[in-house]
Amino acid sequence: MEMRVIEGAKDFVQMLFRNNADGHDADHTMRVYRNAVNIGSNYPECDLELVALASLLHDVDDSKLFPTENNANARKFLRGQNIDEARIDSICEIINAVSFSKNRGKIPETIEGKIVQDADRLDAMGAIGIARTFAYGGKNGRSLESSIEHFHEKLLKLKDELNTPEALDLAKERHAFLELFLVEYKRELI
């Protein structure tokens, strides 16, 4: 891996998300990056540089955050790092396979895509996933009940849509915590 490019991507993400408070911030990106590289290290055939860059750039063109098209922010950054167009296309293909709502039930074609998709989904589970759900809901004016509904619409479904055994192992405890949280939430409503 060319660490200069990886470090540049980290700096780019820090700059781009410096004022974000809805759970799609640089801290989220770094957790996705660490999970992706950790999972990817189990696959000798995996191109870890693709995994690293796609995980770091996976939200830089998210339609909830930016009015960009065709991965404009990611492409601009990668071109500025002199990455060749074929590699940029591969990174953008991985990025485009991450979104749960746009890719429900679709399995990425490459091991790199599977790994980055899993890493992002892991960060929507467990205590971090709960915190991110309410951060996003609060920033966007959602009621508590609307945020709780998000658990049923997405979060509780994530475990069954993971691609790698490593991600599934990491997800089991996080999924159980989501379920425990909902039980306690319902108990306290009474």
At 104 the pLDDT is 76
Residue 49: predicted pLDDT = 97
In this prediction, residue 102 carries a pLDDT of 74
The DSSP secondary structure of 117-183, one letter per residue, reads HHHHHHTTSHHHHHHHHHHHHHHTT--HHHHHHHHHHTGGGGGGG--SHHHHHHHHHHHHHHHHHHH
Q: What pLDDT score does 106 carry?
A: 82
Sketch the domain layout of the chain as residue ranges: 3-189
CA distances from 139 to 14, 88, 119, 179 (A): 20, 32, 24, 24
Residue 67: per-residue pLDDT:
81
Q: Answer whether residue 6 shows pLDDT above 70.
A: yes
166 confidence band (pLDDT: 50, 70, 90): very high
Binning pLDDT at 50, 70 and 90, where does residue 1 land? low
How large is the average pLDDT for residues 12-23? 90
pLDDT for 38-94, tens place per residue? 999 999 999 999 999 999 999 998 878 788 888 999 999 999 999 999 999 999 999
The CATH code of domain 3-189 reads 1.10.3210.50
Tokens of 161: 């849509």
